[in-house]
Chain A
Amino acid sequence: MQVVRNCTNSLKAVTFRCLSNNVKPNKQANLADTFINRNPRNLERMRIAYKPDGYHIDKPGKSYWHKLELKASNKYVTAFVNHFENGEVLKACTSEWCIKKQLYKSKDTTAYINLGRILGYRCLQTGLTELRCDIHPPNEDGKVALFLKALEEAGVKLQEPPQYKTPYPWDLHRPEKPWEVTE
Chain B
Amino acid sequence: MSSVLIKIITSTLYDNARPGSLIFVRNGHHLRGKPPGIAKSLEEKLAAKNYKDPAIHYKVDIGLPPPQINKSKLLQERLKILRSRKNDPELERASRKCQLKIDIEKSYNDWLETTGPYHIRRIAEHYGIFEHLFGDAYFNAWVPLNITYGNNDILNPVYYGNVLKPEETKDKPSVNFKSDETSLWTLLLTNPDGHLTNNEKEYIHWFVGNIPSNQLDKAETIIDYLQPFPPKGTGFHRFVYILYKQNKKLDFSAFKKEGKCIDLDERTFSTYEFYRSFQDEITPAGISFFQSDWSPNVKTFFNKILNMKEPIYEYDFPPPYIRKDEWFPLRQPFNLYMDKHRDSKQVNKEFLVRKLKNVHPFKATPPPVPYPNAVFIDSSVPSWLKTEIRKSRMKWGRINDIE
Contacts and interface: CB of A to CB of B under 8 A. Distances in A.
A27 interface: yes
Given A31-B197, A126-B123, A117 B312 contact: no
A114 B122 CA distance: 23
Interface in A117-173: 117-118, 121-122, 124-128, 146, 166, 168-173
Interface of B: 78, 81-82, 85-86, 88, 91-92, 94-96, 98-104, 106-111, 114-115, 119, 122-123, 125-128, 132, 159-163, 192-194, 196-199, 231, 233-238, 264-265, 290-291, 303, 306-309, 311-317, 320, 336, 339-340, 344, 347, 396-398, 400-401
A48 interface: yes
Given A104-B95, A172-B397, A125 B236 contact: no
Given A37-B193, A98-B115, A102-B106, A4 B159 contact: no
Contacts of A35: 196, 199, 231, 234, 311, 313
B94 A104 contact: yes
Interface residues of A, number: 73
Given A34-B199, A35-B313, 16 more contacts: A35-B311, A37-B237, A39-B192, A41-B126, A86-B126, A104-B86, A105-B95, A110-B95, A110-B99, A117-B101, A124-B162, A126-B160, A127-B160, A127-B291, A170-B340, A179-B235
Nearest to A108: B95
B350 to A, nearest CB: 13
A104 B160 contact: no
B354 to A, nearest CB: 17
A30 interface: yes
18 contacts: A2-B234, A4-B235, A4-B313, A5-B313, A6-B312, A27-B308, A28-B309, A30-B265, A42-B236, A46-B315, A89-B126, A96-B111, A102-B100, A103-B102, A117-B101, A118-B102, A170-B339, A170-B340
B309 A25 contact: yes
A4 B95 contact: no
A3 interface: yes
Contact of B344 (A124, A128, A169): A169
Contacts of A86: 125-126
Contacts of B315: 2-5, 46, 48, 179
Task: Return the 8 tightest CB-CB contacts between A and B, nearest first.
Answer: A98-B110, A104-B95, A127-B161, A125-B159, A102-B102, A36-B199, A5-B316, A98-B111
Contacts of B396: 172-173
B235 A38 contact: no
Given A96-B114, A104-B91, A40 B127 contact: yes
Contact of B193 (A38, A108, A118, A128): A38
Nearest to B202: A38
A162 B340 CA distance: 28
A37 B235 contact: yes
Contacts of B86: 104
A81 B123 CA distance: 11
A8 B111 contact: no
B309 A8 contact: yes
Contacts of A39: 127-128, 192-193, 235-238, 291
B144 to A, nearest CB: 12
Contacts of A51: none
A110 B102 CA distance: 10
A169 B320 contact: yes
Contacts of A96: 111, 114-115
A93 to B, nearest CB: 9
Interface string A81-101: 001001011110000111111
B316 A3 contact: yes
